[in-house]
Amino acid sequence: MKVYTRKGDDGSTGLLYGTRVGKDSAGPSAYGEVDEAVSALGLARAETEPGSELGDLLVRLQRELFVAGAELATAPENRPKLTPAVSVVTAEMVTALEPIIDDITARYDPPQEFVLPGENRVAAALDLARCVVRRAERASVEAVHAGWLDPGASHVVPYLNRLADLVYTLARWQEGVWRPVRTQA
């Protein structure tokens, strides 16, 4: 199988379930940004120890971004064919990020001023990833405004919003003053 197909030479791209649209359409623009977020998280993960808590979490988040990408790579009329948590973001995926944010936030002393990225390589890579996730979020909001995503049914925007918050907390954790993990009784 060849990597190139020449089908996109006209400026169109194929979506899941066969529809073709312009590469500059709302869905492809948004899933392109999500793809960048996957790669940015990969850059951060490359700075972690294999099998570490952070590395394993980043793998999970990269895989969840593939779910968001699949939803964005599907024309609205084909969304009923998607599978929750496999190819469409669920409300549970959004809320599952919140306890992780809370747990990580409890592990460091919060910054008292604006953060200047670059304290160390992993935190800097996470800050870059956060910016890319925010850009993916903005592109997904544009997809909502263009009618590509249904704001009443899609959870892509809330997921990306919460993910950016999580990546921010991960960066602060990696550069902050560490405290023991609080366990709940």
pLDDT beyond 90 at 115? no
Architecture of domain 26-72+85-175: Up-down Bundle (1.20)
**pLDDT of the residue at 24:** 95
Q: How far apart are CA 185 and CA 176, in angstroms?
A: 26
Name the residue ranges covered by the structural domains of the chain: 26-72+85-175
The more confident residue out of 39 and 115 is: 39
Q: How many CB atoms lie within 10 A of CB 51?
A: 7
pLDDT at 26: 97
Q: What predicted TM-score, i.e. pTM, was given to this entire model? A: 0.92
pLDDT of residue 71: 98
Residue 15: pLDDT above 70?
Answer: yes
Give SS3 for 153: coil
